[in-house]
Structure 1
């Protein structure tokens, strides 16, 4: 029942943000409020912190964590992480191409490991936010499962929440995204994350049974 409520809430929030794409009143109100509260001195540090959510950093961190889990014989969780993050990358790209919302600033193009592609990087939903949320939500998840010391677990939670929050805020402070892009990214990421952690283990067990010798 609780999971169904989360499904309904996340889908409802995402669809609400979709309806706001053609109207910038909501985004303008929040951006004006943020500009009033945010000192100009934050621009430079945020320009560095936002790189945490870049595709290059997320891919490297994901592969490192997958390798660590595989080395620790946690192959299911390594696979789950790959599906969550890399599946999320394709989901984000598909949604961007579906809605094709222009960014609040100048037109940007997709760039991976220094290579620029002649494909516009659309605004909705925020890729930085989705990537960061999915990776660090998984870190919270495995911390809950495997870290027994409460203090270390709480530190892990705090670092993960900080990383998600600072990347999401940086995208708005740097005017790379509208607030609705960020809210949509978080809502669809929650939905995708829950689907993955519920579906992937079942598919793996089903595949293992079909491959087992009779």
Structure 2
């Protein structure tokens, strides 16, 4: 079982939150990044190939437009946590009252995802990992479900319907991604009758009929 602190040199996975010792040197660093890093010295692992000894990460600013990709050295990582270790982190009553956190709590309470490795990503995951308030009333709830074995489409449709009920109850959009051997696949796409779905990996996007088989390069066609 994975723990909140990983051994140095471990292969980190997309959406893991990394706490860094220092901000890495960058020649074209955006003006907002140093202040954001001072408040919360974290980055999220992104899907991209990195040079040996480095990991690809993304930094987030206060607005959706403020996102910045970089590479950080493995020895600059102080600790890391994965989405599945975040969903039970404590919150103040004021923060718990926000719709995205209420929806996350409802999913945990209902137990619809019991038996799966899952957890929050995006702004909800970032706040739970860092303690830095970034979630607002307008925030979505982004989820990651690790799915190393095939998920029947009928099961995916049932799960999507249950998530839709939570969306309606709390007025929040839930964006769920399945982490498959081919890469990240939107649950909403897999639950439909599309012959191929988009899988996003470090190699780039691919259109695949089966995310649990070898992906084919993306050819620009629509699924």
Same fold, TM exceeding 0.5?
no
- Normalising by structure 1, report the TM-score: 0.26
Which structure would you say has the larger Rg? 1
- Normalising by structure 2, report the TM-score: 0.25
Higher strand share: 2
Higher helix share: 1
